[in-house]
Structures are given as C-alpha cells and as structure tokens.
Amino acid sequence: MLLLKIDEDLAAEARAQGCDCGGMLHSAVYPRKPRAPAGVELEPQSRLSFCCAREGCRRRTTPASVRFLGRRVYLGAVVVLATAMQQGVTPVRAKRLRELLGVSYQTLARWRAWWATTFVESAFWKGAKAAFSPPADEGGFPHSLLTQFGVDEEARLVALLRFIRELSTPDGYVADKRA
C-alpha cells in the first residue's frame, strides 16, 4: 500500500505539470500483471499513466514508479530483493529463491548481470553515484546499494526504489544488453 501511495503522489506531480504541448493530461491507466511468488495472489495492479487531452497531440506521459521497474514482469521490489539475496549465491539459496518467487535461475542471473554491468554503466548511475559517501560497492549491487539507505529493511527498500524510480519510465529505462 505504501508503494502505491508513493506512485500516486508521483503521478499527481506529473499530471500537475501537464503535457509538453501545454495540454491537460487525462488518466490513461493501463493494467499490469506482475508475476508473484507461487501461492501469492496479488491485488490487481495498474500502471498510472496519462494521455494529453489536446486534439492532435494525445502524447502519453508515464510517471516514474516505485512499484514497477521498466518493462520487467516482476515488481521492482522483487527484482531488488531477489538479486540482493543472490549475493554469495549457493545452489541451495538459488533453489530457495526459485521456490519462493517462481523465478528461473536464468532470470536471476540476468538480473544480476543487469545490476553488475548495464546499471553501473548507465548514464543514470554515472550521474548519481557521486551522491554516495562512502562510495557504494558496484560489485555488490544491489545489496551494497541497499545498505546506503539506512538500517531499517523496509525503509531501505522504499528509499532504493524511490532512488531508481526514473528507470521505470520509457525515457529512463536501462535495457538489458541481450541480443
């Protein structure tokens, strides 16, 4: 519920700014069906979005989100936590993650590779990393990045999701370097 509230606040800010053409933004919410751990039913998820009301423009504005991480089919929190749990992955830990989250080993490996290469090489990270003192250990992402945001686990996760929220928009999305 907290992440939805944050997304609603981000959407309200985006809507108040209006379209680049000066037009008013109308709601254009679209459904998302994120995957969930086995046996866990998620409430219906919607990506908050807007569409310009001005005839001839109709440009879509998708505000940043702390619930969704780009085009991934899992919720952002799952991507962050599952990847952080993989630090020092053992076959037993990888099996447990697959059981808990229904995430294949290949997907977990792809997420680790995204954090280790694509994310750290992104313009987003290159511009943001100077804000961290001491510097975050890029080789230990996302776990080492989570530790930069305090001690309370839930607050750290929310803070990290807020930090990377720009990556949830089409303009900020950092794609995997897969063929």
Residue-wise pLDDT tens digits, 12-50? 999 999 999 999 999 988 888 777 666 555 666 888 899
Question: Under a CB-based contact definition with an 8 Å cutoff, are residues 63 and 48 in contact?
Answer: yes
Residue 17, pLDDT score: 92
Q: Which pTM was predicted?
A: 0.69
Q: What is the pLDDT of residue 44?
A: 61
Rounded average pLDDT per 10-residue block, the chain, 179 residues: 85 92 90 68 77 91 85 76 68 74 79 88 91 89 88 86 85 53
DSSP H or E segment with residue 109: helix 105-113
pLDDT of 109:
82
127 contacts: CB under 8 Å, gap ≥ 6: none
C-alpha to C-alpha distances, 35 to 29, 83, 102, 123, 164, nearest whole angstrom: 19, 16, 8, 29, 20
**Structural domain boundaries in the chain:** 2-168
Residue 21: the pLDDT is 92
Looking at residue 13, what is its pLDDT? 92
The pLDDT assigned to 178 comes to: 44
Per-residue confidence (pLDDT) for residue 24, from 0 to 100 = 92
User: CA-CA distance, 125 to 116, in Å (whole number)?
Assistant: 12
Six token digits for residue 46: 């919607």
